[in-house]
Structure 1
Amino acid sequence: MASAMLNGAEHLTLRRGLSPNGLGFVGSDFHGKQFLKMGLVSNTRISKSGARAIVPKCSVSASRPASQPRFIQHKKEAFWFYRFLSIVYDHVINPGHWTEDMRDDALEPADLNDRRMIVVDVGGGTGFTTLGIVKHVDAKNVTILDQSPHQLARAKKKAPLKECKIIEGDAEDLPFRTDYADRYVSAGSIEYWPDPQRGIKEAYRVLKLGGKACVIGPVYPTFWLSRFFADVWMLFPKEEEYIEWFEKAGFKDVQLKRIGPKWYRGVRRHGLIMGCSVTGVKPASGDSPLQLGPKAEDVSEPVKPLSFLTRFILGALAGMYYVLVPIYMWLKDQIVPKGQPI
């Protein structure tokens, strides 16, 4: 992912395909040499300037078991985590991992092209992503859903969101009727879903025929220390997993766009909270054809206080690592000569 891509001038779209050795990912590093990683086939889109997207050799997620669960934080821990983080979320987390430029770039594939569209922002939190949505859609047609009343309280205070519907709810059990919305958006929420496939299935169900889902989330890092904290903290899916979840739910024309802060300079091995924007189109009315069993986590069930406290504290400590990562990368951006990957 070249820095030009992060500036929104161009982007890389990924889809499934066959390489000579089977299912693979084909691209080139900064020196133009081809390389192959298991997972996907890349397509480049040409920008208006005629430039072609560059795929750095650390863009592909590191190898790990498919859908490996994190063992510290899930929805219950997230509820209390954001009880405190909501106070500084927009001022501490977003500047490093989810900037306005990144948000607008990530929302571009959602095709928010009609102000009359009905849009649901699932896991909308403080409404930071919703602010990008209401640039293109009338606020009265947008619903913000989150399990955290503390995050939603912040969203309610933002003037552009005054007309939005704001409700508490579960991303894996949405309170919307089938074939309800024109667009489904979820940014920075999938990390906490115990069963991401169920959440994507719900996205399919609530969309109208021809509606589009846009899920924005982290990508599994390649640096060993980042991988350790990713596994400890929450779910950092591989790019292949996002696409597989969409396809299994029934979506068509599934595409993945890589995103990141400008100062990452295309190198993503350390990992970041927002790493990709995945979209898919609903091809038929009704529920998803995918059948699933019981939910993996029921937030209404009681927890063991000691176990919960341990998981919460360890998860919060692991999360601090990803607060330090953007600071470290920003400092490197100031020191390393421009034009060189960091």
Structure 2
Amino acid sequence: MSETRTSAAGGMETSYGFRQVGEGEKQGLVNDVFHGVARRYDIMNDVMSAGMHRVWKDAMISALNPQRNGNYKVLDVAGGTGDIAFRIIEASRRLAHATILDINGSMLEVGRQRAAKRRLEENLTFVEANAEDLPFEDNSFDAYTIAFGIRNVPRIDVALKEAYRVLKRGGRFLCLEFSDVDMPVFEKFYDAWSFNAIPQFGKVITGDGEPYRYLVESIRKFPDQPNFAAMIENAGFSRVKWTNYTGGVAALHSGWKL
């Protein structure tokens, strides 16, 4: 079982967990995973992070510090269920506008239902599209956010260049993603939890543990913090940095379009 991470040079486009797949095959396989777990996506995040994803997401919004005016526009990519976008809108005192983009219609439908319950429809636009080919003009958004989604994008380098393109000059890029644990003792416990417990919990919650196995494996294949930072810089971003959360279980990468 190989756990070798891909590098800044690429490799995620043909990596479906630890399995190598043909060029162009990964997106369909990933779509099937998220069609299957959409209704229980937030429970899935609780299981995979032991509930810590909520703390990490709040920290992400604090780092973004969205402006409290009606002209502030955020693009939240792979954000179908709305978790990040809702937080941004609330942090802006319901003044900002967020566009939620996801390639998966099932995830977007969950987001629409959740938005209606929160009465946030006026602050939101839902778009079904690919992160590698954003249907927006250049210089359209003040911020681009993506949480726990970019490792599922086959051509990450293309998605990052698209992020740079649609941001306004002075715009902010923020990516929250599971990353490389930097505490050896904790890493052993984390590996045992990830590869043994998470798929079992997934089977109990959804009836199928395989989507969770893919998600765990995809975390181990994703580039580590320095390599992912290099990819962000290669897309054109400046002042790229990252902050580790919970010993590197997750990391928040950020950059600016200057």
TM-score normalised to the size of structure 2?
0.72
Name 1:236's counterpart in structure 2. 222
- Aligned residue type for 2:134: L
State whether residues 5 and 223 of structure 2, in contact with CA within 8 Å, keep that contact through their aligned partners in structure 1. Answer: no
Name 2:65's counterpart in structure 1. 111
SS of 2:100's equivalent? Answer: strand
Once the two structures are TM-superposed, the CA of residue 125 in structure 1 deviates from its matched residue by: 1.9
Whether 2:57 is the aligned partner of 1:93: answer no
Whether 2:121 is the aligned partner of 1:162: answer yes
State whether residues 247 and 254 of structure 1, in contact with CA within 8 Å, keep that contact through their aligned partners in structure 2. Answer: yes
State how far apart, in whole Å, the 1-side matches of 2:100 and 2:215 are: 27
Whether 2:160 is the aligned partner of 1:205: answer no
Whether 2:246 is the aligned partner of 1:276: answer no
Structure 2: stretches of 5+ with no match in the other structure: 18-25, 182-186, 196-212
Residues 136 and 115 (structure 1), Cα distance of their counterparts in 2 relative to 1, 3 Å cut: farther
Which one of the candidate residues 67, 81, 97 is aligned to 1:141? Answer: 97
Structure 1: stretches of 5+ with no match in the other structure: 1-61, 261-265, 284-342
Name 1:127's counterpart in structure 2. 82
Give CA deviations for 1:213-253 in whole Å, capped at 9, x if unaligned: 11111214565776997795464221012210111111111
Which has the higher relative contact order, 1 or 2, with Cα contacts under 8 A spaced 6 or more apart?
2
State whether residues 107 and 214 of structure 1, in contact with CA within 8 Å, keep that contact through their aligned partners in structure 2. Answer: no
Whether 2:27 is the aligned partner of 1:75: answer yes
Give CA deviations for 1:258-299 in whole Å, capped at 9, x if unaligned: 124xxxxx4x5xxx5xx111111101xxxxxxxxxxxxxxxx
Residues 130 and 232 (structure 1), Cα distance of their counterparts in 2 relative to 1, 3 Å cut: same
- Aligned residue type for 1:127: G
Larger radius of gyration: 1
State whether residues 123 and 144 of structure 1, in contact with CA within 8 Å, keep that contact through their aligned partners in structure 2. Answer: yes
Greater helix content: 2
- How many residue pairs were aligned? 211
Give CA deviations for 1:52-95 in whole Å, capped at 9, x if unaligned: xxxxxxxxxx9755244363253211211111101211223235
* Root-mean-square deviation (Å): 2.7
State whether residues 157 and 235 of structure 2, in contact with CA within 8 Å, keep that contact through their aligned partners in structure 1. Answer: yes
State whether residues 172 and 198 of structure 1, in contact with CA within 8 Å, keep that contact through their aligned partners in structure 2. Answer: yes
SS of 1:157's equivalent? Answer: helix
Name 1:309's counterpart in structure 2. none
TM-score normalised to the size of structure 1?
0.56
State whether residues 89 and 96 of structure 2, in contact with CA within 8 Å, keep that contact through their aligned partners in structure 1. Answer: no
State how far apart, in whole Å, the 2-side matches of 1:78 and 1:192 are: 7
Whether 2:144 is the aligned partner of 1:184: answer yes
Residues 229 and 147 (structure 1), Cα distance of their counterparts in 2 relative to 1, 3 Å cut: closer
